[in-house]
Amino acid sequence: FMPRMLEEGKYTLYAYTDKMLSYGDTNVFVQPIRIRNKIGRKLEAEALVSDTGQLVRGSKVQVMARVRESGKLAKNVDGEYELTSGGETIKYGRLSTNELGEAFINFTYPKLADEQSLKVKLLFTRGNDYAEHSLNLPHEGNPLKVNIHPEGGQLLAGVGGKVVLEVLDIHGNPVETELLVKNTGQLVSKVKTDKQGIAIIYLKPETGSSYTVETTGKKKQIIPFPQIIKPAGYSLKLYKSKEQCTVTVYNKNQSGNALLILRSAKVVLWSKLITVTPGDSLNVAVPVADFPKNILSLSVFDQDNKSQAERLFLNREEEDYKVTIQTDRQDYGLQKKLTVTLQVTDVQGNPVVANVSVSATEKYRIDSAAYRNILESWYYRPFGRINENRFLSVKSATELDGLLMAVNWPDNQWESISDYVSRGPALQLEHTDGAIGQVVFKHHPLFNINSDVKKHRKIYIQSVKNHGSLSKVIQGDV
C-alpha cells in the first residue's frame, strides 16, 4: 500500500531478500513505476514506419502511431514526439490522433554516419493517463551484425548439423532479412530470418571449404564463418517431442569415454558415461520429463573433462500443474463482496498443495500482449534483461528453440566453472532483517540497512559420479 500523501511521479520499485544483497545487482528485481492519485482509462500506443523502404538518408519518411483507450482506437488524444540520434535531439513536435486513432510524423531522414541511426520517442496523454512508445529507425547504411551458431557450439567436418543464423541491427534488435549462404562463392542456401532475427539451416561442412553469409539489400555484407568447423571432437543433435528427448552424439577421431551432463543454470540434474566408437554415433535417451519445466543444458565432455558441445533447450512446453479460477457470480455491483475459488491440480487432475499469490486489478489496466507471469520471468532471468525480453516475445516453440541455440548462460558457462580461479571468499550478509527505508519526496529512495556483516568460508562442490577426477561430492565448512 502506498502512503496517501505520496506525490505523483515516476518511481523505481526494488524487491529483494537479505541473501540477495550479497550478490550482484542482476539478482535484484527492479521495476520503474508511475504513481497517480487518480486512475483513468488505460492508454496504449504503437508505432510503425509506413514504408521501410523510405529509411534512406535524405528520403522522406512517415511514421504512423496508433493510440488505444481501454482497448479501442482513440481519437483526439494529444501527444508529442522527439527524434534523437546518439542522445541528441534532432526534431521535436506535437501531434494528435484523428478519427481512426492515428497520428502521423513526417520528416526527412538526416544525413547520419553509418554507425549512427534515428530513434523516435512518442508520448500521448489524456487526463491522468499516458502512453509512451519508442521506435528505432535504422537507415540503409547501418551495418548488420550477423552471428553464426552451430548446434552445440561446433561443427565436425563431414558431419551434418543445424546452424542458427542471427541478424541484429546496431541497437541489438532482431532484423527480418534475406541471407545467402555460400561455399567458395557457390550458393548453398537462401533463407529469411524471422521476427527474432533467426534462421536455421542444415549444413554438412567439408574439410577445406570456405563458407560465408551474405546480406542482401542496399548495403551488402559478406561475413565469413568463424572457426567452428573442427577436424576432430564430439558434436550433438537434440531431438525432442512431448513424450521423450533423445540426443545423438557423434565422435570424430576422439578416443576414450565421453560424459553427458544435463543441468539447469545452477544444478547438475543427470549424467551418463558413454562410449562412442571413433567415426560412429550413439543415440541416448535423456530423462528430461523427470524434472520441472525449465531451461536446461545438455553437454558432452571428453575424457579430459573438457566441454566439447553444449545445447540449451526447454525441457517441456506445459507446466506440471493447472490453475482454475471461479467466481461465485458473473456480475457485481460497486462495493460488493465476492468469493473466488482457486483449484490447483497436477497433469492427471489430482489436487495438489500450492502456494499462490492473488491480485485484483482493473480490467483494462493489464496489457495482455506484454503481461508475463513470475515463472516466465524466472525461466529466462539467467540470460540478462536484454535477451529476456526477446524470449518473452516468442510466439512458437520453434522460435524459442532457435533462440536458445543462439545463446548461452552469461555467468554459468562450463568454461567459467571448470576453469574457475578463486577471487577470495564470498561475502554473505546474515540477519539483516530485510531493508528498512522510506520514499523521500523529490529524492531518490534511501535505504538504511542495519546488519552484522560476517564472512563465511564454505565450499559446495557438486559433481558427477565415476568420471575421472570428479568422483566425489563434498559439502561443508572448511
Q: Which of 35, 131, 121 is nearest to 78 (CA)?
A: 131
pLDDT value for 477: 42
Between 189 and 333, residue with greater pLDDT: 189
pTM over 0.75: no
Grid cell locating 247: 540426443
How large a percentage of the chain has pLDDT more than 70?
79
| Over residues 35-59, mean pLDDT | 82
Three-state secondary structure string covering the chain: CCCCCCCCEEEEEEECCCHHHHCCHHHCEEEEEEECCCCCCCEEEEEEECCHHHCCCCCEEEEEEEEEECCEECCCCEEEEEEEECCEEEEEEEEECCCCCEEEEEEECCCCCCCCCEEEEEEEEECCEEEEEEEEECCCCCCCEEEEEEHHHCEECCCCEEEEEEEECCCCCECCCEEEEEECCEEEEEEECCCCCEEEEEECCCCCCCEEEEECCCCCCEEECCCCEECCEEEEEEEECCCCEEEEEEEECCCCCEEEEEECCCCEEEEEEECCCCCCEEEEECCHHHCCCCEEEEEEECCCCCEEEEEEEECCCCCCEEEEEEECCCCCCCCCCCCEEEEEEECCCCECCCCCCCCCCCHHHCCCCCCCCHHHHHHHHHHHHHHHHHHHCCCCHHHHHHHHHCCCCCCCCHHHHHCCCCCCCCEEEECCCCCEEECCCCCCCEEECCCEEEECCEEEECCCCCCCCCCCCEEEEC
- For 295-339, write each residue's pLDDT tens digit: 999 999 998 888 999 999 999 888 888 889 899 988 887 778 889
Which of 12-21, 370-379, 461-470 shows the lowest mean pLDDT across its residues? 461-470
pLDDT value for 295: 93
Rounded alpha-carbon distances, angstroms, from residue 390 to 40, 169, 320, 394: 30, 14, 24, 7
| Domain chopping of the chain, boundaries | 43-137
Domain covering 43-137 in this structure, CATH number:
2.60.40.1930
pLDDT value for 34: 73
| Over residues 99-112, mean pLDDT | 95
Average pLDDT, the chain: 81
Looking at the predicted structure, is the pLDDT value of residue 271 above 70? yes
Rounded alpha-carbon distances, angstroms, from residue 277 to 232, 234, 251, 256, 449: 13, 11, 7, 9, 59
CB 232 within 8 A of CB 252: yes
pLDDT value for 463: 40
pLDDT value for 468: 40
- For 360-374, write each residue's pLDDT tens digit: 776 656 665 556 677
